[in-house]
Structure 1
Amino acid sequence: MLVAQEGRVPESGSEPPIPGSAKPRTALRTRLHRPTLWAAAALVVVLLALCVLSLLIGSGSNPMARAWGFLTGDPAARADAQMRLAVLDVRMPRTLAGLLVGIALGVSGCLLQAVTRNPLAETGLLGVNSGAALGVVIGLTYFGVNSAYGVLVWALAGGMAASAVVLMLAASGRSAGSPLRLVLAGSALGATFHGATSYVLLGTQSTFDTYRYWTIGSLAGIETKDTYPLVPLIAVGLGIAFCCVRPLAALGLGDDSARSLGHHPGRVRLTVAVAVTLLAGSAVALAGPIAFLGLLAPYAARAVTGPRMAGQLVLSGLFGAVVMIVADLLARVVIRPWETPVSVLLAFIGGPLLIWIARSQRMSTAGASA
């Protein structure tokens, strides 16, 4: 009879522990989790520091010391109406918007790359950007929209309508929900919406002026009231995303393996597409089309986490928020007292990085592990 340590007899049906087996397993689990946890903690600290800098730095002439005094409760700075306007009404809303947009685009890009098993996939695949652009143009031209909030509403409605049509097209037919069908439906509808947008813009100069400002992608001019309606949508999108962690991990092994584990690949892809619609649609409506962020943040996350899907989602959101806040800070100071659109800076950064990613030997590994 086998006797366990401390003189206790093992329970019936239990097997004796294998000598030396517990320690290697614990060490392996620690090695798998520790890099993700350390990276997440470091990114949170960096993000908090960047948020404080975002409240201190602006494109105007207000000194940082004065803004710091306002944040720390200095009576003279608190009594300054101009400083109150700069910190509370200008910098704080765009900081909050930067966090929301960065997290939403980072997570949605990670979801799309995982569900399509393509490390170069980005949020425009579902037609969100083209649908939002058409919605803005229709609202400006035919419904007399003349406010930033109205543009946001029409952009959100257009992006979600486009994604709904893509989902219906991808869900029909024999190969319903396949990655190729989803990408083809998004590309075809995106091209159609782009043509319709161009047609409407040709005859309306005033609409083109407003649309041009929105489509460059920027956080300037965002107010607090613009961000609050989108917080529930982004929260729901994030909730759906993290509920799909296990199905996505199974899907990364292939459709046959996912089915053998009890998952339905088509339903998983459609559910992920709904999450991406909520996240990317909210981000595009708030800040306009922002290129490269949804592509680069997941790639950086995979470099740390490897194939672990939950870690990829967390770090993709954090990387996206960090990059977005950094780009917004640079946008304020590069050509003071004017501002550079955030999307322009991200294009300058993202273009060379995309070329490097495409030439990297690790791209195939990243795609396989997504």
Structure 2
Amino acid sequence: MKTKLYVLYGGKSVEHEVSLKTAYTVMLSIDESKYDLFPIYITREGIWSTPDKLSRSKLELSDLIAVPRHAEAAESIGQSLISQFALPGRKVVLPLLHGSNGEDGTIQGMMELLNIPYVGNGVLSSAVTLDKAISKQLLAQAGINQAKYLAYRYDQWAEDRAFILEEAEMKLGYPCYVKPASLGSSIGISRCSDKQQLTAGIAEAFKYDSKLVLESEVLGREIQVAVMGNEKPLASLPGEFIHKHLFFDFESKYMDKHLTMSIPAQLSEELTGRIRKIAIQAYQVHGCSGLARVDCFLDHEGHLYVNEINALPGFTNYSMYPVMWERTDGTLYSELVEKLIDYAFTRHAEKQTIHYTR
């Protein structure tokens, strides 16, 4: 009997469109001789719905968007659990939900309660990797080098804006970056060169989150490493995007037709080894399992700074994560998805050995 593969995508998140693109690419790669595919689309309002029978030979991105059959999220989730997840046989969930309500431990907690294997990071690692403020605290405690940063909640900003602006100028200087604490795809991020831009950038970031992170700028290259595995993770060869953008924002990442990948990145053998080692260290510090992408800055003096850990990196054909693995050891896209599913089953089996009674 084939394994039932439940693909969750869309989601109540500003990264909704990114999730759709990831799901589209993944679904086209699935080996139908091994898996029965059960796509579940989650609307921007959080309502779960199932698209009509999909034809992979004629699949369009728009086909993935299903019309909700329920008015409330809770009712739709309950119906999905009854009609989809209650089916007998071996099953696994592939959550392709970028950002909030999917990459932050919420959907992972639900799968834990249902005791269903799922691909990717667990509840804790999902939550701490998405929250940049907490992630930076973990990196600091582990002694991993990173850019200078400050973190604030909205209530702190509302109470004393002047203090925060002054502290940012004194401790970080200009230019600096403002980021929503729990968001990806460079949404809500601003590069600020003076107090006026900083004030506007903070207001923009607080549209998407109640907490933000300010960071000093590191001049140099941004190097990425793909990591996968559970207790003994593997790191890919480093890669980087070649571009001329001063700030690599959402439009630069997803709209620039001239964007090119350099994989492996042009680095010395010693530096390549050091970056891969640090990537694995950062992965383990966050308790990651399954997969993650570790992003680093390399300045002009050769100093390395870990920027952030992305627990659900982009997974389209033009995303860095799958291409890095293909260039590292020849792993094809479809093979990579199967490896990640295998990691999910392994982790789930190990959890079944834990005792919950004495």
Q: TM-score, normalised by structure 1?
A: 0.25
Bigger proportion of residues as strand: 2
Bigger proportion of residues as helix: 1
* Higher relative contact order, chain-length normalized (CA < 8 Å, sep 6+): 1
Q: TM-score, normalised by structure 2?
A: 0.26
